[in-house]
Amino acid sequence: MLPEVDAAALAVLRHGLEELDLLAALGDDEAARAEKLQQLIHYRDLIQQWNQVYNLTAVRDPNAMIARHLLDSLAVLPDVLGPQVLDLGTGAGLPGVPWAIARPQWQVTLLDSQAKRVRFLRQVVLALRLRNATVVHSRAQDFSPPDALFNTVTSRAFTDFPAFYALAKPLCASGGRVLALKGQWPEPETPAPTNLAMQVRAVQVPGTSAARHVVRVDC
């Protein structure tokens, strides 16, 4: 059984998903949906707990984490193809862990090069009983999938989209897609590539006024 989580936080998360029209995306069964919401808040609580020592995220306010981490990750769920998903440079597990919770039928690989983050992610997988999440300790440029390529390769970590795409494209299966979760677009520091057929969608995340975009390139 999962530990009890804050009812007020659950209400904020549920309301945010309703605003995104994504509550139904967690499933038709209300009991299963409620369990996923509890998993998401428990994941938030684990980030907050470990953040005191491991410095996983600059966001310290647990209420802000709901919008800036959980809802921000789930807002792009309609753009994600399964069942094989790779989160490059996943950090604290974003967006991969929320996706794994929302889509238990997918297999989500969480890849990061920092040992402390990998230790945290392994604890998350254990605590949340995520049988569909695999943690890999590796640099992105050194990683090669053990089996098939991925239907979606994603990241929130890379500020340079061309650099991310160069790493992601060889790992993306035919008919799959590369997805980058961005703030401002085009990136202030890096010109947008002109040789890629990109689809860019602005995303309004409830609880935050920050600019958010999802950048998609089909493989």
Q: State the Cα–Cα distance between residues 81 and 108, nearest whole angstrom.
A: 11
For 62-127, give the DSSP string. Answer: HHHHIIIIIIHHHTTGGG---SEEEEET-TTTTTHHHHHHH-TTSEEEEEES-HHHHHHHHHHHHH
**What ranges do the domains of the chain cover?**
7-218
For the segment 149-183, what is each residue's pLDDT rounded down to a tens digit? Answer: 999 999 998 888 888 999 999 999 999 999 999 98
Q: State the Cα–Cα distance between residues 80 and 152, nearest whole angstrom.
A: 6
CATH of domain 7-218: 3.40.50.150
For the segment 29-71, what is each residue's pLDDT rounded down to a tens digit? Answer: 999 999 999 999 999 999 999 998 888 898 999 999 999 999 9
Which has more confidence, 217 or 145?
Answer: 217
3-state SS, residue 142? helix
State yes or no: cis peptide before 78, omega within 30 of 0.
no
